[in-house]
Structure 1
Amino acid sequence: MTAQRTYGGISADERRAQRRAALLDAALELIGDQGLSKLTVSGLCARAGLNERYYYESFTGRDAVLTAVVDRIAEELAIAIIEALRAAPDDSRAKAHAAIEAGIHVLTDDPRKAKVALIAGQATPELRARTTETVRVFIRLVAAEGIGFYGVTGRAPDPAIDFRATYLVGGLVQTLTGWLQGDLPLSREELIDHTTDIFVLLGEDLAARLG
């Protein structure tokens, strides 16, 4: 039975996960380099070096591929931000700068990730809804980190917290989009520094108001 489940020391589930990852890597390359129109079953499998039957092993259609690509980028982004927050000194600017720097690096070290997230996330009404929910996840992360850092727990939630977190995350998404399109003549370091300034300013101001 073991021989049927493993091949070369790799289980069937592991091989399936590897094939799925290869298809997602290929989708990132295709959309990032050639555009959404090139994302076909044959093109994706050819880029991944896999037989087309393996496509249907993991995905039911193009929307499923796009959703998985966007979700994987969002997961990578969340992990990078959380790890940066944990490693940063216990200082508001240091934590904000570390988190923002980590997030922006994920999306710009390989510019295709930001491009794909923006293109794929708006491809259909379902994907737009998924993108909206993903943004809400990061809004909740910003709000929770702010509440924890500034010690405003143990009281009724203040709508101002969610408002500012929404404003910050939404503003960053729009700013990053404009920067990637060349509309903002800033270096990446300047973008990170300016964004950090805004996060710290609004966070400390709100903490003073609620303190």
Structure 2
Amino acid sequence: MTAARPYGGVKAGERRAQRRAALLGAAFEIIGAQGLDKLTVGRLCAEAGLNERYYYEHFDGRDAVLSALLDALTEELTTAITEALAENRGADARTVAHAAIAAGVGVLADDPRKGRAAQIIAAATPRTRARTAEAVSSFADLVASSAAGHAGHAGRAGHAASAPAAPLRFRAGYLVGGLVMVLGGWLQGQLPMTREQLIDHTTDIFVLVTSARPAGGPA
């Protein structure tokens, strides 16, 4: 089979990726600014500046678009948080937590349409609700692993950190689930706090809860 030739110096695979990114960006814009009901094939393609055939090149329906948006957002959040953790490796627990929380909040707050769209998409369909629950669980694992790693580094210099124990994993899940709810209210203007206050207070809670000894644990 003959490989697709470059057009304008851009390879076929790159053009396809650019079209997909344009469609997803347009979908975020429409949902964030106008609501989910306005996300139609015609409106999406017009916003992206693409022929409708390119929509069907990537998606077989609106559910597929919503799932792709959620996956893209989860990947962006994961990348931002893991980079913040890596950049602050070796710092004290509060500095690490503050950096990671600021990075995650920044992804949603720097682009208001993205924050609004994320809330709509997360509850849009049974499929996106399930994927949102999976994402929350994944972020909780990340929080628990980071907290366990920091405790291991602080308590046993030169030794590998232990895997997060069940109580820590429970706390991380509780914290992340709570943050999702609080952040949603803040993005909607229901919580009278500045961005810095939100991050600071969230950091305080994360450090307090993840560093406390489990009930019934060793003194």
TM-score category, normalised to shorter length: over 0.9
Aligned residues of 2:149 and 2:162 also touching (Cα < 8 A): no
- Equivalent residue for 2:202? 195
Provide the rounded CA distance (Å) in 1 between the counterparts of 2:92 and 2:73: 28
Q: CA deviation at 1:87?
A: 1.1
Counterpart amino acid of residue 60 in structure 1: D
Report matched runs for 1:32-51 at 5 Å: 32-51=32-51
**Please, what TM-score do these two structures have when normalized by structure 1?**
0.93
Distance 1:197 1:38 in 2: 40
Is 1:99 the counterpart of 2:106 in the alignment? Answer: no
User: How far apart, CA to CA, are the structure 1 residues paired with 2:10 and 2:66?
Assistant: 27
User: Does 2:147 correspond to 1:140?
Assistant: no
| Structure with the bigger percentage of helix | 1
Question: How far apart in 2 are the matches of 1:139 and 1:3?
Answer: 43
Structure 1 residue 110: Cα displacement: 0.6
Deviation at 1:155, TM superposition (A): 6.0
Instruction: Tell me the CA shift for residue 135 of structure 1.
Output: 0.8
Q: Who is 2:190 aligned against? A: 183
Tell me, in whole angstroms, the C-alpha distance in 2 between the residues paired with 1:191 and 1:141: 20
The one-letter amino acid paired with 1:158 is A
Change (3 A) 1:12 1:182: same
Counterpart in the other structure of 2:181: 174
Amino acid at match of 1:54: Y
Counterpart contact for 2:22–2:48, Cα < 8 Å = yes
1:54-86 Cα distance to aligned partner (Å, 9 max, x none): 000001100110111111111111111111111
TM-aligned CA distance change 1:156 to 1:4, over 3 Å: closer
- Counterpart AA for 2:172: A
Q: Which runs of 4+ in 1 moved over 3 A?
A: 1-4, 152-157, 206-211
Aligned to 2:169: 162
Change (3 A) 1:94 1:134: same
Residues in 2 aligned to 1:55 and 1:174: alpha-carbon distance in whole angstroms: 33
Contact 2:139/2:176, CA 8 A, preserved across alignment = yes
Give the CA RMSD over aligned residues: 2.2
Equivalent residues of 1:100, 1:192 under 8 A apart: yes
Gaps of 5+ in 2: none
Aligned partner letter, 2:147: G
How many residues in Structure 1 have an aligned counterpart in Structure 2? 211
Q: CA deviation at 1:4?
A: 3.9
How far does the alpha carbon of each residue in 1:26-80 deviate from its partner, in whole angstroms, 9 at most, with x for none?
0000001100011000000000000000000001100110111111111111111
Task: Tell me the residue number matched to 1:8.
Answer: 8
Cα 1:27–1:179 shift into 2, 3 Å: same
Distance change (3 Å), C-alpha of 1:86 and 1:154: closer
AA partner of residue 59 (structure 1): F
Looking at structure 1, the residues matched to 218 and 99 of structure 2 have their Cα atoms a distance apart, in angstroms, of 25
Note the residue ranges of structure 1 that are not aligned, 5 or more in a row. Answer: none
TM-score normalised to structure 2 length:
0.90
Offset of residue 20 of structure 1: 0.3
